[in-house]
Amino acid sequence: MPHISAKSRPIPASTASRPREAGFSLLELMVVVVIMSILALVILPRIIDRPDQARIARVQSDLATISSALKLYRLDNFRYPTTEQGLKALVSRPSSEPIPRNWAKNGYIDRLPKDPWGGEYQYLSPGVHGEFDVFTLGADGIAGGSDMNADLGTWTLE
């Protein structure tokens, strides 16, 4: 019988035809978990901050819309609605003095928007910061505050 060295030994047929077991090792899974954790720590704070920015952008848009409607009211009636008449004067004709003579047939705005926190926009005429002030009291609904509780008004528009 001839001598067969280990190098030339034939591979059994059952081992050669069996595919390598598929899957990930524990080390590979741990590396993926660590990478995903690092990404979450970096990205998550940026994503969480976006709703607050969206609310502020909505307030700015609402304030610009209401301000434009107030300016149209003034063009037609030569004055802004009084504080007592309020922003409702933009939707329906005021019945209290001074009654506008040239009030637009369909109003100046379809409906009054609510602020992003569900509150009513406030109105002063004359305003503290200008001819009129339209503002929201922020998330807490109380005058003053900081961050999301800060009052945002027409004087804060850029």
Residues 113-148 have pLDDT tens digits of 999 999 999 999 998 999 999 999 988 888 888 887
SS3 133: strand
Q: For the chain, give me the number of helices (H) and strands (E)?
A: 3, 3
**DSSP code for 120:** B
pLDDT band at 95 (very low <50, low <70, confident <90, very high): very high
Distance separating alpha carbons of residues 105 and 72, to the nearest angstrom: 13
Q: How far is CA 57 from the centre of its chain?
A: 6
| HEC sequence for 23-92 | CCCHHHHHHHHHHHHHHHHHHHHHHHCHHHHHHHHHHHHHHHHHHHHHHHHHHHHCCCCCCCCCHHHHCC
For residue 11, pLDDT over 80 is answered with no
Most confident region among 11-15, 88-92, 149-153 by mean pLDDT: 88-92
Residues 105-115 have pLDDT tens digits of 999 999 999 99
Task: Average the pLDDT over 65-73 and give the result.
Answer: 93
Distance separating alpha carbons of residues 148 and 53, to the nearest angstrom: 9
Residue predicted with more confidence, 149 or 119: 119
